[in-house]
Amino acid sequence: MCIGSSFVPDNIRDAASLAAKLASPTDGLSKSLRAALPPKVRKTLSTGNAPQLNEATPAALVRALNKLAKGPSLYDSVRFPENVLSPETRAYRDENPQLKGEKLATLNRLLLRDAYPEELSTQPTTETDWLATSREPAKLGAEEFLGANRQYWGIENGTHQRLDCSALEDRLRIRDHNAVEVLGFLHRVSISLFVAWAKTQRNQRDQTYPTWQSYHDANRWIMIRQITKAPT
């Protein structure tokens, strides 16, 4: 079973109970988890069994849990004696003596689950997706259909996202078919050049399409030369 290194909202079984424990923490782990919450959320925690939580609390709890999971190792033989650890956690710890990165986060996630067994779960959740197609099952099986759908969203989250959000194609009010085709071609050429240019930028914050646009707004001949000169 793939445990994963991050919590998701479905992993919180009882957000109210967890929030109540963090309202007045009595152990170091709960104090650390409480400290990872934003100050505004800490103020909303109740010591009673409140029937309803602030709507922002569950999401804040997930972020705080993941912050602890991705930090230094939470394991300590005093904090987590053998009788507290689940067989799954003990096996993962013993199989991975040198933990770092995702493996460390996975162990921390298991430890947090063991520390709050009634409130947290690490079991994977099942999600049902409904997809519609005019093709017959013999021509497009379930696995191929899901792969095609994932490929579609890969395009939407890549090129199309840049075209719609950064190049602002959705806001264009051009009606001339020829102008639309020319601008669409130039936008796609620009994105291709941007991808190559972003790989040369050391600062990750500069590896964005708006930064690329502003860089060329100052001197549009840079873009013209990149389009017209012969490839090397």
Domain parsing of the chain, residue ranges: 9-115, 142-228
Cβ-contact 34, 42 below 8 angstroms: yes
pLDDT of residue 50: 47
Alpha-carbon gap, residue 187 to 193, rounded angstroms: 10
CA 206 remoteness from chain centre: 21
pLDDT of residue 215: 73
pLDDT of residue 154: 65
pTM: 0.51
pLDDT of residue 81: 84
Q: Taking each helix axis from N to C terminus, what angle separates 101-115 and 57-69, rounded to the nearest 10 degrees?
A: 130
φ and ψ at residue 71, rounded to 5 degrees: -90, -160
pLDDT of residue 126: 67
pLDDT of residue 203: 81
Cβ-contact 41, 56 below 8 angstroms: yes
Q: Write down the mean pLDDT value for the chain.
A: 79
Q: Which helix (H) or strand (E) holds 182?
A: helix 177-198
pLDDT tens-digit map of 38-55: 787 777 775 444 445 677
Alpha-carbon gap, residue 108 to 143, rounded angstroms: 34
pLDDT of residue 153: 66
| Residue ranges of the chain whose pLDDT lies below 70 | 1-5, 46-53, 125-127, 152-158, 166, 218, 230-232
pLDDT of residue 3: 58
